[in-house]
Every structure is written in C-alpha cells, then in structure tokens.
Structure 1
Amino acid sequence: MGGRIGLSYKGIDLNVDFAGGAMQSWNQDYELRNAFHGGGNSPAYLLEDRWHRADPYNPNSEWISGYYPAIRNGNTGPNSRNSDFWLTNVRYLRVRNLELAYTLPQKISQKIKAQKIRVYVNGSNLISFDNVKDFQIDPEIEAAAAVVYPQQKVFMAGFNITF
C-alpha cells in the first residue's frame, strides 16, 4: 500500500510519501532461531527469554520456563523444526520520503534575475512503524535469515534556482 500527502502554505510546502505492507509472512530461520548458528553470536532475544535449567551445569536441575525453546547444540532440537512458532505476519508503515521546502518571495529572487528560488531538506526511509522491531530486522527484507542490509536512511539539503 502507499499514499502521499502534499501541503502548501505561503511558500512553504511539505510532501510525505508512505509505503506499507500487511498480510505477508516471514519465517525466522538460521541465525534468528538457531543459537550460535555457524559458530556466530545469537540474537539477545533468544538468550534472554528461553527455557533453561536453573543450574546449567546440572542436567537434572529444574526447568525455568521462557518464551523461546531451550538452546541446543547445532541445528537439532525444537529450534530447527519448522512450525508456526517461527512464523510472523509482518505489518508495517514507512515514511518513504519526506520533503520540507521554502520558496523565497519573488521580490528576493528577482534581485538575481531568477523566476524562482526554492530551498529544501529531504529525508528517505526516516521511520518505520512495524511489528518486527524486536527481531532488529527491516520489515521489507526478503531473506529468511535477515542477513541483508536494511533500507538506508538518506538525508539531503539543496536548492533550486529557475531562471
């Protein structure tokens, strides 16, 4: 989905472009559900709220419950099995582009024989409202392991002179 808002008042104009999505599924995989996948680090959320033994050195100690399954060595155990536990329905709304500009009055632009002088600031991918922030991923990713670069934030400032 997408949308645009354009406002203008006394030489000031604001343009905002939105993009969003819903009803798309994302399945956590690899680094995001297998602790220490490939000898690497684990996401903090897998380590903080997981099933674990009260005494990690005593396999007979009581289990302490958590949201995520217990960590197993390698790609075995409940983490490696596909299930809807690892499936997330992604919803997001992103400010794709925002531009704030000011057009100088004609009596100022005519001093340099210009028809129009406009100054602006512009930002792209400034903020995203989504339900996948806890996973520290971009909601528009395509890779199940989320090992792709997120959308970059871009800031620009400039001016236009029309002669």
Structure 2
Amino acid sequence: MDKTDGVINADDRVIMGDYMPHYTYGIDFYGKYKNIDLSFLLQGVGKADGYIDQQGVLAFYMGGTAQEWHKDHWTEDNRNASYPRLTFNYPNNEQVSSYWIRNASYLRLKNLQVGYTVPNRFVKKIFLDYCRIFFSAQNLFTITGFYDGFDPEAPIGRGDFYPMMKVYSFGLNVKF
C-alpha cells in the first residue's frame, strides 16, 4: 500500500526475487581401482529464486485439475494452510506476489558411470583386444527446496515445460 495515497494498486509494485544464480558450481570426478572405474558429475546453483504461475501452481487454472498439495488450502477452519483459498476461475490467486517465489537453489547428480574392464587374459580368449562393460545414468537425483515435481533449472513461467528425464544405460566397449 502506497503510504501517500492509502490505495493498493499497480503503483505499489516492486521487484521481487532474483532468478539469476549467484553461485554456480560443479564437481567432476574420475577414479579407477584395478579394473573398476567410476565417474560422476555433480552440478548446482546457489542463491537463486524461481517463480511458477498459472497452470504450474494454480488449481483449476483454465479448466485444469487440482494437485495433491492443493488439498491443504485456506478455509475458516484451516487458517494456517500452505495454499491460498481454493477457487475456480477466480483471479484472486493469479496476482503476482512473493507467495509464489521459491528457493530455486539445487544440487543435481547429472551423470554417473560405473565400468568394469575385463582382464586381457580373458579378452584374448574371445579374440578381442579390449572389453569394458559399463552402467551409466543421467539426472539420478536433485536436492532442492523448489516446488515438488518441478525442475528448478527450467525456465521461469507457467510450468508447461517438459520435465528433466532420468536416463539409464548399459553398454559394452570392445576393440578387435
């Protein structure tokens, strides 16, 4: 509310949050012991805010559905709810506010690979020069305080982006 005129309106808007990460970090590791090798990449950002609105957080937005976390909504009997008053096609929850800003800092295991190189004495018996078996995985986990089910690395906005997928692979490297 503007103290000079006592009216809450568009003139009272202020800049909120900061979606640009203040810290970006990563740890890349490779190690080998005898015939087993391990590599991984941890990556993250610190001190960043994220904002999702419209269908990303609002129950029934444009005819959409409510999510599980919408059940804890404000009522006369539930004044300490985690979600505002539940409405259908009513714009009160659509106003931009600091309520919808969340901490978007995160730590993600981007890549993990574990491999085993078969000893030469066995490889030569099957007429190969080299053989390595490996397991690889991408995006195994993310630690964050952001909205459940939403990627803190995704663009700010409505939440209508394709989510980060986990990928698991097995492979075989051979040389003849």
| TM bin (shorter chain) | 0.7 to 0.9
Q: Distance in 2 between matches of 1:141 and 1:40?
A: 21
Tell whether the 8 Å contact from 1:18 to 1:93 is kept in structure 2 after alignment.
yes
- 1:52 pairs with 66, 75, 83, which one? 75
Distance 1:75 1:22, change over 3 A: farther
Q: Which residue of 2 aligns with 1:71?
A: 86
Q: CA offset at residue 143 of structure 1? A: 4.3
Which of 37, 43, 66 is the equivalent residue of 1:42? 66
The answer to which of 145-154 and 100-109 deviates more is: 145-154
The SS at the match of 1:85 is helix
Q: Aligned partners of 1:44, 1:26: CA distance in 2, in Å?
A: 21
Q: With structure 2 as the length reference, what TM-score do the two structures score?
A: 0.77
Structure 2 residues not aligned, in runs of 5+:
1-24
Q: Distance in 2 between matches of 1:75 and 1:21?
A: 36
Tell me, yes or no, if structure 1 residue 152 matches structure 2 residue 175: no
Aligned mates of 2:45, 2:90 — CA distance in 1:
32
Match of 2:153 in 1: 140
Normalised by the length of structure 1, the TM-score is: 0.83
Gaps spanning 5+ residues in structure 1: where? Answer: 55-62
Q: Offset at 1:68?
A: 2.2
Q: Give the secondary-structure state (helix, strand or coil) at the position aligned to 2:83.
A: coil
User: How far 1:113 moved relative to its partner?
Assistant: 3.5
The 3-state SS of whatever aligns with 1:159 is: strand
- Please identify runs of 4+ aligned residues in structure 1 that moved more than 4 A: none
Matched, 1:101 2:124: no
Any conservation in 2 of the 1:32–1:43 contact (CA below 8 Å)? Answer: no
Judged with a 3 Å threshold, the aligned counterparts in structure 2 of structure 1 residues 43 and 113 are, in CA distance, closer, same or farther, namely: same
CA shift for structure 1 position 27: 1.2
Q: Would you say how many aligned residue pairs link Structure 1 and Structure 2?
A: 152
2:37 is paired with a residue of what secondary structure?
A: strand
Partners of 2:158 and 2:86 in 1: how far apart? Answer: 18
Partner Cα distance (1:27, 1:143) in 2: 6
Q: What one-letter code is carried by the residue in structure 2 that aligns with 1:106?
A: N
Tell me the C-alpha RMSD between the 2 structures.
1.8
